[in-house]
Structure 1
Amino acid sequence: MTTLHEKKLAEKKALRQKMLTFRKGLTKEQHEEKSRAILARLYEEPRFQQAKTIFAYASMPDEVQLYDLLAHALKAGKRVGLPLITGKGLMEVVNLPSLDSLVRGKFGILTVREEEQSIIPASEVDFVVVPGAAFSPAGDRLGLGGGYYDRYLAEKAPQAYRAALTFDGQVVPSVPMEAHDARVNLILTETRRIEPNK
């Protein structure tokens, strides 16, 4: 007999696979063009403009490209944080002093050079760019399977405003959710601005 939890996990796995295949199917040009359109929308958001501390991430080649966001936020005088994995399912936010501080870390993901790492207190993070495989118009999010963001947002930074920057094709009618799964406050795609609960 399959439990509800196992059923949800299977649904999540299938949807995650489908979405990652979709992302990988976009050309480099499409990735760049769509990413530029998404970031242009983000820069117009009052919540982003007012935020003092932005928690983002160094994107993988098949994700929305955020390098320009890191540069833009630093230039605007904002404090920028990147994820630092500290244990299984656990992470902190590490300060990014400048783009020159980026080096390739685990899994080839850009991270802050070890000798320059300093933790930003979670209570000071006011805007989070949340990665994900899929999102629904209701603000539901399918993560990438590690539970890092669900835990961090629920336990450490519940005050932070959560924005998803994602390709249009990753917004689906519904996402299988469980009690611990973190939702987002805003979804921006290359063609749409979705504000759940509005």
Structure 2
Amino acid sequence: MPGAIDHAKRALRADLRERRALLSDAQRAAAEAALTARLNDLVATTGARSVSCFLSTTTEPGTRTFIREAVARGIRVLLPITREDGLLDWAVAGDEDEITTGLHGLPEPTGEILNPMALDEVDLLLVPAAAVDRTGMRMGWGRGYFDRTLGSMQKCPPAYAVVFDSEILDEVPRDVHDQPVTGAVTPERTVVFPLT
């Protein structure tokens, strides 16, 4: 039976989905351009030569321009592929990648599939989120893929949630399996959370 935390997460996710759906195409395009600049700056600042990212849906902060530009600059970009067992496989982004619909209706690459261990080679993780709070606690969309990924890495590189600025909240509901992130990147700013 779902508890208070599950109910609070469901309500917050519904509110966040509704807010994202209200953005116009022009607002989304402007946000993607600004976010691309912020992500490029983060890659440059960290010196990352290999990153993980995700193919954004139409309502998420847009990552696709960043991915194309990073690949063109010679950055190795790994994109997630969902699995039935709750883990993520990965594929290296290319210039002419085809995109398919994966589990849960999410966009995924069609390239050569690498196992979950491929993530051990990246310098920077860029992960989707519904929201993140000021302590760095990330709240995802409820399937647990990225919590499992972050929680299973022996040596986790810096991990940044990619969200809209209004999705950095004072507090998000948290459960024992939820994993924190190093920081957040929005179209307006990059935030590094204090170590707790």
TM-score with structure 2 setting the length: 0.88
Q: Percent identity?
A: 26
Deviations 1:40-90 (CA, angstroms, capped at 9, x unpaired): 122122566511221111110001111111111111211111111122321
Deviation, structure 1 residue 24: 0.6
Give SS of 1:38's match: helix
**Is there any run of 5+ residues in structure 2 with no aligned partner, and where?**
none
* CA distance in structure 2 between the aligned counterparts of 1:16 and 1:48, rounded to whole angstroms: 32
Structure 1 residues 168 and 32, CA gap change in structure 2 (3 angstroms): same
Structure 1: state its 5+ residue gaps: none
| Structure 2 equivalent of residue 99 of structure 1 | 95
Alpha-carbon distance change, 24 to 86 in structure 1, aligned in 2, over 3 angstroms: same
Residue 34 (structure 1) shift = 1.4
Query: How far apart in 2 are the matches of 1:99 and 1:49?
Result: 24
Q: Root-mean-square deviation (CA), in Å?
A: 2.1
2:156 to 150, 155, 159: 159
Q: Which residue of 2 aligns with 1:11?
A: 8
Q: Give the counterpart of 2:140 among 138, 143, 146.
A: 143
The two structures have a TM-score, normalised by structure 1, of 0.87
Distance 1:102 1:48 in 2: 30
1:31 equivalenced with 2:28 (yes/no): yes
SS at match of 2:160: strand
Equivalent pairs, count: 193
User: How far apart are the structure 1 equivalents of 2:72 and 2:138?
Assistant: 30
CA 94–184 in structure 1, closer or farther in 2 if over 3 Å, else same:
same
Aligned partner of residue 141 in structure 2, secondary structure: coil
CA distance in 2, matches of 1:158, 1:134: 24
- Aligned counterparts of 2:154 and 2:35: Cα–Cα separation in 1: 24
